[in-house]
Structure 1
Amino acid sequence: MGLLLGSGNTKPQYPYDQWYGVQGDFNSQDYKLKRVGNLDLHRTLPIQAKLKRFVENPDGSVKYYLNQNDSRKKDSGATAVIDSTDGNVMLEKPEYYFKLEIEGTKWIRAYSEYPLPGFIKMERKTVSPWYATVDITNSIAVSGCWLTWNGDEIARDSDGFVILKANAAQFRGGSGAGDAAKDGTYNSMLGMPRTSISKAGVRPFCKNGTHHGAYRVYNEIAWLQRVEYASLHCQDTYTETLTADGFHQGGLGSGCAVNGTEWNTWGGYKPFVPCGVTATLGNNTGKVSYTIKGWTGGDKVVQVTSYRGLETPFEYLWLLADDVLVWHKADVSIAYVCEDPTKFTSHSDSATTVPAGYEAITEFPRTDGYVLSMAHSAKGYSFAEKVGGASNKGYCDYYYTPADDSSFTAGWYGALLSATALGGASAGFGFLYAIYRSSFAYAYFGFRLCRF
């Protein structure tokens, strides 16, 4: 497990003031972190400020950036086309420089815009700002928004059903053609994320250099949020008010939490929030109220979160991660990461060899539980190392493993991130569900389109 630094004696030595970051302790149960480095950079957050939505060219380059405060507009203020026909709508995670330092039980994650000594370059990555879907006509995974608007409110007909763009049927989410009969009803899948699909099922739709290996970019954005709020508790109470020192505080609040029985009745656990609901927020952090029609007991209002352009960052759909595999052996569980999208695979459940391109990162706990501490990689990767936390202790998110089940069968498994709308307190940026095989597909499994 050579890449992971779970402990050590590398003492932080920074003669520069061009970095900022957070310090934590492997043994602490306190989810609050200490801000370190240049505190003025904690106020301006120059790296986080570069997270931007844009419309891409077929090769992934920027066609045009979207407006900081309204993704329905171009950066220039002109009307943007965000239904994917002008190019996929993507979120740019900028390049920056990173360094991990560990001294005894304490760790520091340091970030800079500049190549300071000992810092490594974290390359630019792009990811769909919301869950992706499939262009049925052209059999290609796309990222877009098919909503129409009355001012800043989502347009609805006399029944309260969302009015979508005329081409929305080309981009049906859910199970795709299997949900065609729902078109025009309260639980229509038009304009929704594509779900009910496995990792292997998504891969053929990813073309022109795209893929759905989302763990690496998701993990980077998760840490940018933790640095911004100096907290491991991403579900902590959401507030727009800064501290007296000018720092962000609290968290992002809960996600689109709903009752499981009611969700199943409404649509069999299929998506209930159309892609792009937070377009009116632009690249800003915030929440948008969305009304679900036809819900048990009457209309249901959920709060849709966006963190600097990343819509529904957690607690909505499970997020497929094609760049991670988990090998649960009889006596040890190991996380593997692949950085080469051409080598992404689901692997045979019972294989006894490691697939090409996948590198062992760290060992996982062998029991379920709230994550108390994570192991950190020099490349910035982080995975659950110990459980024993709580919804307000440690990392405040849950880790699930089959290794403590009586029916456990050793072999290769997939990784699901984020947690569903049923996740409750267990959901969050640090949530990991490693119980299902890679071939599994379900109504609340979604994917984000990636390019890096």
Structure 2
Amino acid sequence: MSLILGSGNTKPQYPYDMWYGVEGDFTSKDSNLKRVGNMDMHRTLPIQSKLKRFVENADGSVKYYLHQNDSRRKDSGANAIIDSTDGNVMLEIPSYYVKVEIQGTKWIYAISEYPLPGFVKMERKAISPWYGTVDLDTNTAISGCFLLWNGDEIARDENGFVKLSPNAARYRGGSGNGDSGRDGTASSMLGMARTSINKANVHPLCKNGTHIGAYRPYNQIAWLQRIEYASLHSQATFNATLTADGFHQGGLGSGCAVNGTEWNTWGGYKPFVPNGVTAILGNNTGKVSYTIKGWTGGDKVVQVTSYRGLEAPFEYLWLLADDILVWNKEDTIVAYLCEDPTKFTSHSDSAATAPDGYSPIANLPMRSGYINTNSFSSKGYSFPDDTTGAGLTTGFCDYFWTTYNNATLGRGWFGVLLAAGANTGANAGFGYLSTNNRSSLANAHFGFRLCRF
């Protein structure tokens, strides 16, 4: 890119050295990336280090930040209230600057804290650190954790069921009141994410400026993780040890992986990990063991990942995204992005025009498959571009799913699902993109994250 053309004594100095990023090659299937830019920033990770959980006021402003190492406390060390009654718990993505440079077959994805020449500002955003649920008394989408704790262990009763705050039934997950019959059982939805609801039905629950336009913040966090680990393979084995050069290595490992048949038997694909299990990690990256009671064949332990405060980033529940729609036309598949939350819509499946506020941003592959290469927008948002020749650990490592070639379902408008379910296995990851479901579909393992920006 233009900022790295200087060499020797002619190399530009501050502020032109104040960026860092990764370089890849469209012709290579190697999922490892080359670190470029300021190597010290690859060690200190100034932008990634600013991701932090907080409790918000009703207008979205910060009421207080949560502790770096324990989200059950304020950054001051005092006890925090994270059951949503003090405000939604959110994860702040700071404002920063991004530039994507393509020269020949090589591409560079660069980020900076400073408005360097050619860099585009990414405005501050907030997304719930875990999947959202609903206040059943006020019909409001919220973000909270209702767990009780014994030290750093989740409190459990004599049956091994988790103990929750007294108000947990007000925020029952799953299908809400429809799952009240599960209370007190191994598959209770108390403390869980709200699912079994489609985007159109979530819309009126989002109040005071919140929404579920998750594609952009999710995609930004995905690239922050790729830059941090210099890899496109987000499911590579988790390794907390730095390299000899002081860089992060490996990936985030698998998500909350389970067998789909067993999951269906346990709870009909409903959530099985209470929101906030990773509160004890604060804003740090790591994994927390969680025991699911009553699983097929006995209790099951899953590993719940958190990437810098984003709990269960992939391979748990499918993530609804209101800011993106896909139009399967006769001869092309086009992704449409909307940046105005007031215009978010699910749109008619058979509409002949794009909805107001949605603009074409990328052409998508005409066939399902592992993502080989991605295309990039000027703001650094990326989309599957080619699904030829890649695999579980090559190319972008994750899967793209379309119904374009299905004669019955293959045309019209479709919604988008991110992150992938717990039974998706090695196909899952930060880059997984499913466009084979209509926006009107609700499913027991489709959830949402509350957003604000």
* CA–CA distance in structure 2, aligned partners of residues 400 and 31 of structure 1: 20
Q: Shift of residue 404 of structure 1?
A: 2.2
Cα contact 2:418–2:432 (8 A) shared by 1: yes
Q: Does residue 403 of structure 1 match 2:404?
A: yes
**Are the equivalent residues in 1 in contact too, given 2:284–2:308 (CA < 8 A)?**
yes
AA paired with 2:54? F
Measure, in 1, the Cα distance between the counterparts of 2:25 and 2:342: 37
Contact 1:12 1:102 in 2 (8 A): no
- The answer (yes or no) to whether the contact 1:10–1:102 under 8 Å persists in 2 is no
Aligned to 1:412: 413
Aligned equivalent of 1:154: 154
- Per-residue deviation at 1:362? 1.0
Residue 422 of structure 1: aligned partner: 423
Provide the residue aligned with 1:5 in structure 2. Answer: none
Which residue number corresponds to residue 9 of structure 2? none
Query: Are residues 1:170 and 2:167 paired?
Result: no
* 1:232 pairs with 2:232: yes
Shift in Å, 1:330: 1.7
Q: Give how far 1:262 is off.
A: 0.6
TM-score normalised by L of structure 1: 0.97
* Secondary structure in 2 matching 1:363: strand
Q: CA RMSD in A?
A: 1.0
Classify 1:12/1:435 alpha carbon distance in 2 versus 1 (closer, same or farther; 3 Å).
Answer: farther
SS in 1 for 2:54: strand
User: Whole-Å Cα distance in 2 between the matches of residues 199 and 62 of structure 1?
Assistant: 27
Contact 1:368 1:404 in 2 (8 A): no
- 1:11–1:101 CA contact under 8 A, matched in 2: no
Counterpart position of 1:55 = 55
User: C-alpha displacement at 1:184, in angstroms?
Assistant: 1.2
Single out whichever of 114-123 and 402-411 deviates more from structure 2. 402-411
Does structure 1 conserve the Cα–Cα contact (< 8 Å) formed by 2:324 and 2:335? yes
Distance 2:232 2:266 in 1: 33
Deviation of 1:28 after TM superposition, in Å, equals 1.0
Structure-2 separation of matches of 1:255 and 1:110: 27
Residue of structure 1 equivalent to 2:445: 444
Alignment partner, residue 29 of structure 2: 29
1:3-44: CA deviation from partner (whole Å, max 9, x where unpaired): xxxxxx978657311000001111110000000000000000
Give the corresponding residue for 1:199.
199
Secondary structure of 1:21's counterpart equals: strand
In structure 2, what is the Cα distance between the partners aligned to 1:322 and 1:364? 18
Asked if the contact 2:4–2:37 (Cα under 8 Å) also holds between the matched residues in 1, the reply is: no
Quote the Cα distance in structure 1 between the aligned partners of 2:124 and 2:208: 18
Structure-to-structure mapping, 1:202-351, within 5 angstroms: 202-351=202-351
> What residue identity is the alignment partner of 1:243?
T
Between the aligned partners of 1:357 and 1:231, the Cα distance in structure 2 is: 34
CA distance in 2, matches of 1:406, 1:341: 33
- After the TM superposition, which of the residue ranges 14-23 and 218-227 deviates more from structure 2? 14-23
Q: Does 1:387 align with 2:400?
A: no
User: SS where residue 222 of structure 1 aligns?
Assistant: helix
Whichever residue aligns with residue 56 of structure 2, its letter is E
Counterpart Cα distance in 2 of 1:212 and 1:58? 16
- 2:377 matched to which residue of 1? 377
1:195/1:445 contact within 8 Å kept? yes
The residue type paired with residue 450 of structure 2 is L
**Local SS of the residue matching 1:73:** strand
* 1:408 CA drift (Å): 3.5
Identity of paired residues, percent?
70
How far, CA to CA, are the matches of 1:371 and 1:12 in structure 2? 29
Q: How many residues align?
A: 444
Q: Show the counterpart of 1:361.
A: 361
Deviation per residue, 1:270-296 (Å, 9 max, x gap): 000000000000000000000000101
Supply the distance in 1 between the matched residues of 2:50 and 2:362 (Cα, whole angstroms): 30
The corresponding residue for 1:6 is none
The gaps in structure 2 that reach 5 residues or longer are 7-11
Distance, in Å, in 2 between the alignment partners of 1:115 and 1:375 is 23
Partner of 1:85: 85
Counterpart residue identity of residue 350, structure 1: S
In structure 2, how many angstroms separate the alpha carbons of the residues matched to 1:313 and 1:42? 22
Name the CA distance, whole Å, in 1 between partners of 2:281 and 2:329: 45
Which amino acid in the other structure matches residue 252 of structure 1?
Answer: L
DSSP-derived class of the 1:108 partner: strand
Q: Work out whether residues 193 and 271 of structure 2, in 8 Å CA contact, stay in contact via their aligned partners in 1.
A: yes
Deviations 1:108-135 (A, max 9, x none): 1111111111111110000000000000
Deviations 1:162-213 (A, max 9, x none): 0000000000000001001111111100110000010101111000000000
CA contact (8 A) 2:132 2:141 kept: yes
Matches within 5 A, 1:61-100: 61-100=61-100
The corresponding residue for 1:4 is: none
* Deviation (angstroms), 1:100: 1.1
CA distance in 1 between partners of 2:199 and 2:51 (Å):
27
Q: Is the 8 A contact 1:10 1:103 kept in 2?
A: no
Q: Distance in 1 between matches of 2:149 and 2:369?
A: 43
* d(CA) in 1 for partners of 2:378, 2:100: 6
What is the distance in 2 between the residues matched to 1:383 and 1:13? 28
User: What amino acid is the match of 2:419?
Assistant: S
